[in-house]
Amino acid sequence: MTRRFIIKEIHQQKLKDQKAVIKGWVKSVRTAKWGAFIVVNDGSCQRDIQCVADKDIEGFEETVAKLSIGCSIALTGNLVESQGRVKAIEMQVESCELIGGVSEDYPLQKKATSLEFLREVAHLRSRTNTFGAVFRVRHALAFATHKFFNDRGFYYLNTPIITSSDAEGAGDMFRVSTLKKGESDYSKDYFGQETFLCVSGQLEGETFAQGMGAIYTFGPTFRSENSNTARHLAEFWMIEPEVAFFDLEDNAQLASDYLKYLISYAMENCLEELEFLQQMYKKDLIETLNHVKDSPFEKITYTEAVEILNNSGKKFEYQATWGSDLQTEHERFLAEEHFNKPVIVTDYPKDIKAFYMKLNEDGKTVRAMDVLVPGVGEIIGGSQREDDYEKLLSRMKEMDLKEEDYWWYLELRKFGSVPHSGFGLGFERAVMYITGMSNIRDVIAYPRYPNNAKF
Amino acid sequence: MTRRFIIKEIHQQKLKDQKAVIKGWVKSVRTAKWGAFIVVNDGSCQRDIQCVADKDIEGFEETVAKLSIGCSIALTGNLVESQGRVKAIEMQVESCELIGGVSEDYPLQKKATSLEFLREVAHLRSRTNTFGAVFRVRHALAFATHKFFNDRGFYYLNTPIITSSDAEGAGDMFRVSTLKKGESDYSKDYFGQETFLCVSGQLEGETFAQGMGAIYTFGPTFRSENSNTARHLAEFWMIEPEVAFFDLEDNAQLASDYLKYLISYAMENCLEELEFLQQMYKKDLIETLNHVKDSPFEKITYTEAVEILNNSGKKFEYQATWGSDLQTEHERFLAEEHFNKPVIVTDYPKDIKAFYMKLNEDGKTVRAMDVLVPGVGEIIGGSQREDDYEKLLSRMKEMDLKEEDYWWYLELRKFGSVPHSGFGLGFERAVMYITGMSNIRDVIAYPRYPNNAKF
């Protein structure tokens, strides 16, 4: 039996003068007097393969002549180098088998379809060039994440999805329950108490960093805020490293190394995808990525950032004032106009940051860091964590958090406490940034947002 | 400044005659007239490092003499080869800094603590030898999973966690909601309809396999059944590959290759962990794993399995009868006693399997497969999927599933349908199997089960 090759193997290894079977879906078919060109893709790579079928081959009229876009087929034939200027591998078809036909209402026809329309047929969109590219890059970035941390001795940790604690102390959580309509006694619920979907795995991550040294999570997180924007999802994936004996400097270095690694890995493994996305969606994509990969990240304090904004002469919708959070317009000005590269902003006022961040000696700021990138704004948020029991407890009291809800988190500061730091990267934000896609709903398989949980 | 080395680097590279800083937690401390032995671990590997502090070093009385188990410390000194028979690397300490002390109520004292007790302090248990080993093996198995599939051209897919569809058509789902107490109009809920936590990513996985060829998921899945056993969790992680143009044979081969790869990878990367676990929990662990790695998996049909069981002369609590599901006692007899290796059972009666499995020509059985392993029972369940529109629809009607809930799943069979197959591996079951741990609550960071969502 002739061996099946996937199209990626054929192109990468330039397999020629070799008999092969190709299985995939018809991207286009063009018939002529002498026979037909059938362009096939099997999802393994960006590049299709052109298959040339002479009209004399067996069963031409019954199969090839009836093919349409989207049909699944198996072709047997010889792989040869094409005659044209570009020496691509193509197939001289000897036989064609139709595996699955396509009914007339197939929504992916030759004419270009909008990204909005494709969201309505998300179960089919991975068959298009755009989404094939996006999801192969997404895969590469996920694999690069595991490789980066594994190579550096970090251990992958699965923190709980269903949780009884609120990691951010900020609300906006989805409730998880098995109670029936009308029941509301949570002591009779599945877990015997109120439970929610996690907003972060950080607090649990810290517990394991203090046993295993360096851990990272990579799992789904959830926010129930009513945000209907191109940058928010109710369900998104986050990567959260957490490292014992790490201070804010170490943390910033790790964040910068990681982002650069992601870009390098995508460039090395998905160049055809990135070139396609550049051509279709963002003319300077590869140049921008190269620039970020090769530039040292800028590092400034929040206080310096506010000064830069106020001295910029630029009119913002909101003026930057010390003590208020930076707006997206501020973040983008810093990363895009002022520095034109990623910027790490550190040492924010304590009142606009979470309770677990380490207090600086000034008593006013905390050892927080946000990484801002051109085009997206904040992509990473992190901090050195408060490792002093009394300081953490007093901060929790200031913020009306209940000590008993966080007893185990507090205990880490009683039993061999260490300086430690970590950050969170929103995975979809990173995928957007590296693919150049402008809507976050186009970089996750089945996006969840207000009034949408389809598929 | 002297460089800090993690203990794994020191042992793996046998770093000696080198000045170094070690940071970690005190595992034990033994004082004598001449000074003290301090045993330190930093979570990076199973092996501790012994550090020898002469009482003449600076600050001995203030720090070393006061150390207790669990303190975090930084030691500076020279790495040297020890004098004993086992030439391990140890440190000749020059200075010792106490980073974080330990209050008296520290629950992890020298005396052995039970696994049950450690579940109550799950935030600290990764500091113990047992859980350090388990979670490093778990990490290795996760990384091996990504490497196995990436190397074979599979793309990682994140299927949705919050879903409006029931992949198994079997109930037992957790509701996700933002409605307040007493409200029950789901059209006003966050997603505008009833939503649940996914029980599987398979159906969505199939949609992407028909675009990208071969995908795999690795994410959390949920079951709200009231199972309080050592083998069930309400929240667990699952790996689900799904491949276009794959039949049941291909699928069984993939499952067998994958399980063997997991074992080989753990043996190559975590031998010290496995040796520790063998010594503590399962005397034949490594021999068993080697046996599974090197044996071809047995393959029998369900019908043959029932015959074997009925001819075995063994008394079972439930007799095996054709048409009923195999009981755990049956599965274990087949894998442990009859074959003494993993067994793949195929072609189950359609009535005990899910609606999406491909009907065999006999009209009675489906192209299902379960992989049974000694000690655990079922570890993988999979099938070739029904790729014929009419057959799938009629099976759904037989099982009272609503066509409109699965419109997108059905459409895959209208637009270039292909034979395709996949399976699901319960990740925690695999971790149990390979670590030899006997309770599933001991192989996940924070287990979720009835009446427990602590931490």
Q: What is the pLDDT of residue A183?
A: 83
Q: What is the pLDDT of residue B374?
A: 85
> What SS3 state is found at A147?
helix
Task: Examine the pLDDT at A99 and tell me if it is beyond 90.
Answer: yes
CB contact under 8 A, A191 and B452: yes
Report the topology of domain A7-100: OB fold (Dihydrolipoamide Acetyltransferase, E2P) (2.40.50)
State both tokens at A290: 């190269």
pLDDT category of residue A167 using cuts at 50, 70 and 90:
low
Q: What DSSP line would sit under A352-410, residue for residue?
A: GS-TTBPBPTTSSEEEEEEEEETTTEEEEEEEEBP--HHHHHHHHHHTT--GGGGHHHH
Instruction: List the 42-101 stretch of B: residues with Cβ below 8 A of A.
Output: 42-44, 70-72, 74, 99-101
Neighbours of B319 (CB within 10 A): 12
With an 8 Å Cβ cutoff, is B301 touching chain A? no
pLDDT category of residue A83 using cuts at 50, 70 and 90:
confident
Task: Examine the pLDDT at B181 and tell me if it is beyond 80.
Answer: no
- Give the best residue of B123, B154, B184, B233 to mutate against chain A (max A CB count within 10 A): B123
Task: Give A303: exposed, middle or buried? Use CB within 10 Å, 0-12, 13-18, 19+.
Answer: middle
Tens-place pLDDT, residues A231-242: 999 999 999 999
- % of chain A surpassing 70 pLDDT: 99
- Average pLDDT value for chain B: 95
Tens-place pLDDT, residues B300-322: 999 999 999 999 999 999 999 99
pTM of the model: 0.97
CB contact under 8 A, B6 and A455: no
pLDDT category of residue B331 using cuts at 50, 70 and 90:
very high
With an 8 Å Cβ cutoff, is B161 touching chain A? yes
Is beta strand B298-301 parallel, antiparallel or unpaired with respect to B175-177? unpaired
Single out the residue of A339, A331, A241, A237 nearest to residue A292, CA to CA: A339
Q: What is the pLDDT of residue B255?
A: 98
Nearest CA in chain A to B454: A164
pLDDT category of residue B436 using cuts at 50, 70 and 90:
very high
d(CA A386, CA A390): 10
Q: What is the pLDDT of residue A188?
A: 94
Q: What is the pLDDT of residue A58?
A: 87
> What SS3 state is found at A127?
helix
Is beta strand B214-222 parallel, antiparallel or unpaired with respect to B298-301? unpaired
d(CA A449, CA A228): 7
B216, HSE (Cβ side, Cα atoms, 13 Å): 26
Q: What is the pLDDT of residue B180?
A: 86
Single out the residue of A426, A216, A422 nearest to residue B143, CA to CA: A216
Report the topology of domain B125-442: BirA Bifunctional Protein; domain 2 (3.30.930)
A296 φψ region: left (φ > 0), alpha (ψ -120 to 50), beta (else): beta
State both tokens at B85: 């028979």
> What SS3 state is found at A144?
helix
With an 8 Å Cβ cutoff, is B455 touching chain A? yes
d(CA A449, CA A440): 11
Closest by Cβ to B150, choosing from A72, A124, A143: A143
Tens-place pLDDT, residues A20-64: 999 999 999 999 999 999 999 999 999 999 999 999 998 899 999
The Cα angle at residue A162 between residues A426 and B139, in degrees rounded to 5: 65
With an 8 Å Cβ cutoff, is B442 touching chain A? no
Single out the residue of B405, B403, B369, B410 nearest to residue B386, CA to CA: B410
d(CA B384, CA B366): 8
pLDDT category of residue B171 using cuts at 50, 70 and 90:
low
With an 8 Å Cβ cutoff, is B132 touching chain A? yes
Q: What is the pLDDT of residue A169?
A: 60
> What SS3 state is found at A324?
coil
> Phi and psi for A316 in degrees, rounded to 5?
-105, 155
Tens-place pLDDT, residues A178-219: 998 778 899 999 999 999 999 999 999 999 999 999 999 999
Task: Examine the pLDDT at A171 and tell me if it is beyond 70.
Answer: no
Task: Examine the pLDDT at A87 and tell me if it is beyond 90.
Answer: no
pLDDT category of residue B287 using cuts at 50, 70 and 90:
very high
Q: What is the pLDDT of residue B170?
A: 62
Domain pair A7-100 / A125-442, same fold: no
Q: Which residues pair with B197 in a beta bridge?
A: B162
- Average pLDDT value for chain A: 95
With an 8 Å Cβ cutoff, is A193 touching chain B? yes
Task: Give A85: exposed, middle or buried? Use CB within 10 Å, 0-12, 13-18, 19+.
Answer: exposed
Closest by Cβ to A224, choosing from B165, B190, B455: B190
Single out the residue of B40, B54, B52, B53 nearest to residue B5, CA to CA: B40
Our CA-based measurement puts residue A50 at a distance from the nearest CA of chain B, in whole angstroms, of: 18
Q: Within its chain, how far is the Cα of B266 from the centroid? A: 12
- The answer to whether A449 and A238 have CB atoms below 8 angstroms apart is no
d(CA B83, CA A318): 69
- The answer to whether B222 and B235 have CB atoms below 8 angstroms apart is yes
Helices B427-435 and B248-269 sit at what angle, rounded to 10 degrees? 50
Mean pLDDT over B397-406 rounds to: 92
Model ipTM value? 0.97
pLDDT category of residue A168 using cuts at 50, 70 and 90:
low
Our CA-based measurement puts residue B454 at a distance from the nearest CA of chain A, in whole angstroms, of: 7
CB contact under 8 A, A161 and B235: yes
Per-domain residue ranges of chain A: 7-100, 125-442
